[in-house]
Chain A
Amino acid sequence: MSWQIWRSKHKFQLQLTAFLMMLIAPVPLFLAAQRGDNGWIWFWLCIIILANLLVMLVK
């Protein structure tokens, strides 16, 4: 099965995954900011960035 067909078939699941990443990541991101922990800030920010990239890839 090609990637295009697979992603089209699983659009809902991919969007749900991205959505959950966008909803969950800000909480530990906020806690990391309160601690001043730049390493974890960038980690959780990358999760949000990946979620947005995932959304852009889904048609």
Chain B
Amino acid sequence: MIGFHWGADRAGGAGYLSALLVAIAFFGATPQLIAYAQMKALLLTVDVLAIIWAAFLFYRVTDEAGAIRVIGDALPHLTDDRCMQAILIGWVFATFLQGFGGFGVPVAVIAPILIGLGFSPLASIIISSIGHAWGVTFGSLGSSFNALLAASNLPASVLAPPSALFLGVAGLLGGMIVVQYAGGWSNLRRLILPILILGVVMGGVQYLVAVSGPWNISTLLAGIAGLAVGFPLAYRHAAHTNDNGDLDLRAVIIALSAYAILIVVTLGVQLIQPLNNLLSGIEIGVQFPELSTALGYVTPAGPGRNLVIFRHTGMVLFYVCILSYLVYKAFGLYQAGAAKRILGGTMRRMMSSSVGIASMVSMAVIMEHAGMTNTLARGLAENFGAVYPLVAPWIGALGAFITGSNTNSNVVFTGLQMTTAGLLGYSVPIILAAQTAGAALMSVVAPTKVVVGTSTTGMSGKEGEIIRKLFIYICLLVLSISLMTMVGVWLAGI
């Protein structure tokens, strides 16, 4: 993707075939192992694609109604300062969406809004990706952090404090990067105070909520706190010269209705237990036997990805799409044939991304089951013993880059990180905090996530260009986690 400028679809196919060949030829993967791995990959693919398709459908529903344009036209009335717009939308609002969304939904929703404000498609993806990265671990109502807890069997009271601290600092740095990318160093200096205020508020709220118990809504509440503080800050930084015309408040409220429906329905399904139970009735689950390669690498027996059909995040987003469509239709916002354009446009736009994701997920699962991913990580750990704390977040980052998921990286590497930390005498909670923080940040650069952004911004086929630009900034953030980890284990050892 980076070297030959192939899109994710073609590169995914090449990656899959390469992984398959190496797994069989050099890692002793048997046909049975490959077969079971493919089924696991299918469940994961469906899990991932359901969210992506629904998120893009949501974008098409709102875009066809003109809602994104209305929101984009309205924001200059709050502030026409482009860097404050990047802060509010690309950082704060993106964090809010990550709080209860997942798998690239913030980028899929936010990037078109930024384009509507005049940002380039590339800048929109970069800003929204960096802006929400820090919220991935405790976002999606805590799914990635839950995976860390499950894989480590350690309590949240032990793991939440260092994880939330590392990610809070990364969030503040991410906000600075958002402004620097949007407006250069001079604007970063100019807006350093609002950035610090928002960073401390959002990071502080996430930390306090995570360590006091309800870690699954810590990022969501951090985003809400950020919006509450961000709006008055935005007014303070609005230009005072130009008359932007009268604001059509009714149009803005109608345009925002889909997002309100998104919040209400998503929270309702998660938090209203009777509704949650009603939607949890049908579940697809497959049990897999213990799998081993000819070289002795063993994957324990266990269930694959469980799909709770009617409560799945993608299905919930689909309900939101239907309700939003009905509301917009009731207000007469659609032209004739809108439904056909929405559905047809979604299928055509998503197909390229979907084949890429299907290939890459299969590649990642085969690499996991053949022991290839573990070999890569062990090589890093064994060669960097004394400076392992610097390496730990990069192992998490590697897992997230390959699988596209903070959750998957936590599932795959938590055991390895715990064992290595124990052998080397380092604090396990701090090393695991580094694991999940590195995975959260690097997950936004993963090809499977980048294609989500390109799908909704008309940049399909340019994933390599985006990854090249995003990679540098995310590496800086992961490096900050490395430094914090080094300091953390040193302090823990005192």
The residues of A with any CB-CB pair to B shorter than 8 Å are: 12, 15-16, 18-19, 22-23, 25-27, 29-30, 32-33, 36, 38, 41-42, 44-45, 48-49, 52-56, 58-59
Contacts and interface: CB of A to CB of B under 8 A. Distances in A.
A30 B32 contact: no
A59 B11 CA distance: 11
A48 B31 CA distance: 13
B10 interface: yes
A42 to B, nearest CB: 6
Nearest to B38: A26
Contacts of B42: 23, 26-27
Contact of A29 (B13, B39, B45, B358): B39
Given A15-B351, A49-B17, A33 B36 contact: yes
A26 B17 CA distance: 16
B38 A16 contact: no
B368 interface: no
B108 to A, nearest CB: 19
A27 B39 CA distance: 7
Contacts of B152: none
Interface string B323-363: 00000000000000000000000001001101110110010
B41 interface: yes
A45 B31 CA distance: 9
Given A15-B351, A52-B17, A55-B359, A30 B9 contact: no
B39 A36 contact: no
A48 B38 contact: yes
A19 B13 contact: no
B238 interface: no
Contact of B32 (A15, A23, A41, A53): A41
Given A15-B355, A18-B355, A19-B354, A55 B31 contact: no
B35 interface: yes
Given A32-B35, A41-B35, 14 more contacts: A15-B352, A16-B351, A19-B358, A23-B46, A26-B38, A33-B35, A38-B31, A41-B31, A45-B34, A49-B17, A52-B13, A52-B14, A55-B356, A59-B10
Contacts of A45: 31, 34-35, 38
B168 interface: no
Interface residues of B, number: 29
B38 A56 contact: no
13 contacts: A15-B9, A18-B355, A27-B42, A29-B38, A30-B38, A36-B32, A45-B34, A48-B362, A52-B13, A54-B13, A55-B9, A55-B13, A55-B356
A5 B20 CA distance: 31
Contacts of B358: 19, 22-23
B32 A33 contact: yes
Interface in B21-49: 31-32, 34-36, 38-39, 41-42, 45-46
Contacts of B362: 22, 48
B351 A58 contact: no
A53 B36 CA distance: 21
A26 B39 contact: yes
Contacts of B352: 15
B20 A49 contact: yes
Residue of A45, A53, A55, A56 ringed by the most chain B CB atoms within 10 A: A55
Nearest to A24: B42
A18 B351 CA distance: 10
Contacts of B12: 52, 55
A30 B206 CA distance: 42
Contacts of A41: 31-32, 34-35
Contacts of A16: 351
Contacts of B426: none
Contacts of A32: 35
B41 A26 contact: yes
A38 to B, nearest CB: 6
Contacts of A42: 31
A49 B35 CA distance: 12
Given A41-B31, A45-B35, A58-B9, A53 B17 contact: yes
Contact of A55 (B35, B38, B39, B355): B355
B20 A12 contact: no
A22 B351 CA distance: 13
A22 B34 contact: no
B16 interface: yes
A12 B16 CA distance: 21
Contacts of A53: 13, 17
A35 B359 CA distance: 25
A41 B20 CA distance: 14
A55 B362 CA distance: 14
A52 B351 contact: no
Contacts of B34: 41, 45
Contacts of A49: 17, 20
Nearest to B361: A22
A15 B12 CA distance: 13
Interface in B352-399: 352, 354-356, 358-359, 362
